[in-house]
Amino acid sequence: MARRVVRMAVEDIGLADPNALSLCMAARDAVDFIGMPEGNLALAQAVVYLAVAPKSNALYTAYGDVQQDVAQTAADPVPLHLRNAPTRLMKGLGYGKGYRYAHDLEAKVADMQCLPDNLSDRLYYRPTSQGVEKRIADRMNEIKRQRSPSGKRDNPPSKKES
């Protein structure tokens, strides 16, 4: 039963309430620690929490889409700016050129493509308006705005940019 409760936390609740997973893992640990039948109360607490928690399978769905694309595009090339350039030849071929290190930027958002060209416009995770996912959606929209030409601040080039 503890396994199913944990599975529900990650599959049916997801990031709408990330605390659900912690609570369910604590219930599982309580069952392991105190045994049964006393452990039933910990499981009951987790089940009630899950029953009233906001629900979202957005991450579960996104993960399935990612797995499918990985299987179909595993051999596609990594964009040159993301490739390490440990040799002069690689640097000459453009490896690492144009890389922007987000931590060196004021907004901590680097506007660069990180997927292969054929997946560049792919959006996997679509948060719902449930629970914490609303905040995640707001943050994703803010990042999108910062990356748009009208939303860009004057970010100096990264120290690691070639």
Q: Could you tell me the CATH number of the domain that includes residue 125?
A: 1.10.3710
Is residue 120 assigned to a domain?
A: yes
The mean pLDDT of 13-29, rounded to a whole number, is: 97
Q: 80 and 23 share a domain?
A: no
| Residue matched to tokens 């769905």 | 61
Q: 48 and 77 share a domain?
A: no
- For residue range 38-84, list pLDDT tens digits in order: 999 999 999 999 999 999 999 999 999 999 999 999 889 999 999 99
Is residue 68 assigned to a domain?
A: no
> Which domain range does residue 124 map to?
73-151
Q: 22 and 82 share a domain?
A: no
What is the full DSSP assignment across 51-101?
HHS----HHHHHHHHHHHHHHHHTTSPPPGGGS---SHHHHHTTTTTT---
- For residue range 105-134, list pLDDT tens digits in order: 888 888 888 888 889 889 999 999 999 999
* Domain count for the chain: 2
> Residue 149: is its pLDDT beyond 70?
yes
For the entire predicted model, the pTM comes to 0.76
Q: 42 and 80 share a domain?
A: no
For the chain, give the percent of residues with pLDDT over 90: 74
